[in-house]
Amino acid sequence: MRGIRFLIFIFFLFLPLQIVKSEIIVLSKCNDKQDEFLKNEYIFNLNELIMTRNYIYKEKTYQKYRLTDLSVKKANTYVRNIYEEDGKILTHKHGYPQFYTQILFIKGKQEIFIKTVLNDEEGISKISTCKKIEKFKDES
Protein backbone atom coordinates (compact mmCIF):
# COMPACT_ATOMS: atom_id res chain seq x y z
CA MET A 1 0.00 0.00 0.00
CA ARG A 2 2.85 2.37 0.83
CA GLY A 3 4.39 1.63 -2.54
CA ILE A 4 1.21 2.70 -4.35
CA ARG A 5 1.00 5.91 -2.32
CA PHE A 6 4.64 6.61 -3.04
CA LEU A 7 4.11 6.10 -6.80
CA ILE A 8 1.05 8.36 -6.78
CA PHE A 9 3.03 11.01 -4.88
CA ILE A 10 5.91 10.79 -7.38
CA PHE A 11 3.45 10.96 -10.31
CA PHE A 12 1.87 14.20 -9.03
CA LEU A 13 5.26 15.61 -8.06
CA PHE A 14 6.60 15.33 -11.58
CA LEU A 15 3.32 16.04 -13.37
CA PRO A 16 4.03 19.08 -15.50
CA LEU A 17 1.88 21.94 -14.34
CA GLN A 18 0.71 24.20 -17.11
CA ILE A 19 -0.78 27.57 -16.51
CA VAL A 20 -2.89 28.43 -19.51
CA LYS A 21 -3.05 32.11 -20.23
CA SER A 22 -5.40 33.51 -22.79
CA GLU A 23 -6.00 36.99 -24.02
CA ILE A 24 -9.28 38.03 -25.57
CA ILE A 25 -9.90 41.44 -27.11
CA VAL A 26 -13.47 42.52 -27.89
CA LEU A 27 -14.12 45.48 -30.18
CA SER A 28 -17.78 46.45 -30.11
CA LYS A 29 -20.08 49.23 -31.27
CA CYS A 30 -18.10 49.42 -34.51
CA ASN A 31 -19.36 51.75 -37.20
CA ASP A 32 -18.72 51.29 -40.89
CA LYS A 33 -18.20 53.73 -43.76
CA GLN A 34 -20.55 51.94 -46.16
CA ASP A 35 -23.05 49.96 -44.10
CA GLU A 36 -25.22 50.45 -41.04
CA PHE A 37 -25.43 47.86 -38.29
CA LEU A 38 -27.53 47.19 -35.24
CA LYS A 39 -24.58 45.17 -33.92
CA ASN A 40 -21.03 44.97 -35.24
CA GLU A 41 -18.32 43.41 -33.07
CA TYR A 42 -14.99 41.67 -33.46
CA ILE A 43 -13.66 39.19 -30.90
CA PHE A 44 -9.96 38.30 -31.07
CA ASN A 45 -8.92 35.18 -29.15
CA LEU A 46 -5.13 35.44 -29.14
CA ASN A 47 -4.68 32.06 -27.45
CA GLU A 48 -6.60 30.13 -30.11
CA LEU A 49 -5.62 32.59 -32.89
CA ILE A 50 -9.14 33.13 -34.16
CA MET A 51 -11.25 36.20 -34.85
CA THR A 52 -15.03 36.02 -34.60
CA ARG A 53 -17.14 38.74 -36.14
CA ASN A 54 -20.79 39.11 -35.13
CA TYR A 55 -23.02 41.54 -36.93
CA ILE A 56 -26.65 42.44 -37.53
CA TYR A 57 -27.49 44.70 -40.46
CA LYS A 58 -29.96 47.53 -40.16
CA GLU A 59 -32.94 46.95 -42.43
CA LYS A 60 -31.81 49.40 -45.15
CA THR A 61 -28.37 47.79 -45.49
CA TYR A 62 -29.86 44.30 -45.38
CA GLN A 63 -32.27 45.11 -48.22
CA LYS A 64 -29.42 46.65 -50.28
CA TYR A 65 -27.43 43.40 -50.19
CA ARG A 66 -30.51 41.18 -50.44
CA LEU A 67 -31.34 42.67 -53.86
CA THR A 68 -28.26 41.10 -55.45
CA ASP A 69 -27.65 38.09 -53.19
CA LEU A 70 -30.50 36.04 -51.75
CA SER A 71 -28.11 34.16 -49.46
CA VAL A 72 -27.42 37.31 -47.39
CA LYS A 73 -28.58 37.00 -43.78
CA LYS A 74 -29.62 39.91 -41.61
CA ALA A 75 -27.59 38.54 -38.68
CA ASN A 76 -24.40 36.59 -39.20
CA THR A 77 -21.24 35.34 -37.54
CA TYR A 78 -18.02 34.29 -39.17
CA VAL A 79 -14.70 33.05 -37.88
CA ARG A 80 -11.25 33.65 -39.38
CA ASN A 81 -7.81 32.43 -38.41
CA ILE A 82 -5.47 35.19 -37.28
CA TYR A 83 -1.81 35.76 -36.51
CA GLU A 84 0.24 38.44 -34.76
CA GLU A 85 3.04 40.37 -36.40
CA ASP A 86 4.83 43.45 -34.97
CA GLY A 87 1.95 44.50 -32.68
CA LYS A 88 -0.60 43.95 -35.44
CA ILE A 89 -3.24 41.27 -35.69
CA LEU A 90 -4.03 40.07 -39.20
CA THR A 91 -6.48 37.54 -40.60
CA HIS A 92 -5.03 34.94 -42.92
CA LYS A 93 -4.89 35.93 -46.56
CA HIS A 94 -8.19 35.68 -48.40
CA GLY A 95 -7.87 35.39 -52.18
CA TYR A 96 -5.12 34.45 -54.59
CA PRO A 97 -1.34 34.95 -54.42
CA GLN A 98 -1.49 37.91 -56.84
CA PHE A 99 -4.55 39.50 -55.16
CA TYR A 100 -5.63 39.02 -51.57
CA THR A 101 -7.20 40.87 -48.66
CA GLN A 102 -6.75 40.73 -44.91
CA ILE A 103 -8.43 42.42 -41.97
CA LEU A 104 -5.85 44.35 -39.96
CA PHE A 105 -6.11 45.44 -36.33
CA ILE A 106 -3.40 47.30 -34.40
CA LYS A 107 -3.30 46.30 -30.73
CA GLY A 108 -4.66 49.03 -28.48
CA LYS A 109 -6.27 50.99 -31.34
CA GLN A 110 -9.97 51.39 -32.09
CA GLU A 111 -9.69 51.29 -35.86
CA ILE A 112 -10.03 48.25 -38.09
CA PHE A 113 -8.41 48.27 -41.52
CA ILE A 114 -8.53 46.19 -44.66
CA LYS A 115 -5.22 45.38 -46.27
CA THR A 116 -5.41 44.75 -50.01
CA VAL A 117 -2.46 43.44 -52.00
CA LEU A 118 -2.39 43.38 -55.81
CA ASN A 119 0.81 42.20 -57.51
CA ASP A 120 2.86 43.12 -54.41
CA GLU A 121 1.34 46.63 -54.26
CA GLU A 122 -0.17 47.08 -50.80
CA GLY A 123 -3.05 49.34 -49.85
CA ILE A 124 -4.53 49.87 -46.39
CA SER A 125 -7.95 51.46 -45.83
CA LYS A 126 -9.87 52.07 -42.63
CA ILE A 127 -13.14 50.16 -42.66
CA SER A 128 -14.40 50.68 -39.14
CA THR A 129 -13.93 52.56 -35.88
CA CYS A 130 -15.05 50.88 -32.69
CA LYS A 131 -16.33 52.81 -29.70
CA LYS A 132 -15.55 50.16 -27.11
CA ILE A 133 -12.47 47.99 -26.51
CA GLU A 134 -12.37 45.36 -23.78
CA LYS A 135 -9.42 43.15 -22.94
CA PHE A 136 -9.73 39.99 -20.94
CA LYS A 137 -6.90 37.89 -19.56
CA ASP A 138 -7.72 34.51 -18.19
CA GLU A 139 -5.51 32.08 -16.28
CA SER A 140 -6.47 28.55 -15.52
Q: Is 8 domain-assigned?
A: no
Residue 126 sits in which domain range? 21-139
Q: Is 33 domain-assigned?
A: yes
Q: Are strands 21-30 and 121-139 parallel, antiparallel or unpaired?
A: antiparallel
State how far the Cα of 69 lies from the Cα of 113, in Å rounded to an integer: 25
| Each residue's pLDDT tens digit, 47-73 | 999 999 999 999 999 999 999 999 999
What value does the mean pLDDT of the chain take? 87
Express as a percent the part of the chain with pLDDT over 90. 71
Residue 118 pLDDT grade (very low, low, confident, very high; cuts 50, 70, 90):
very high
Residue 130: which CATH number?
2.40.128
In single-letter form, the type of residue at position 31 comes to N
Residue 2 pLDDT grade (very low, low, confident, very high; cuts 50, 70, 90):
low
Q: What is the pLDDT of residue 10?
A: 53
Domain count, the chain: 1
State how far the Cα of 102 lies from the Cα of 119, in Å rounded to an integer: 15
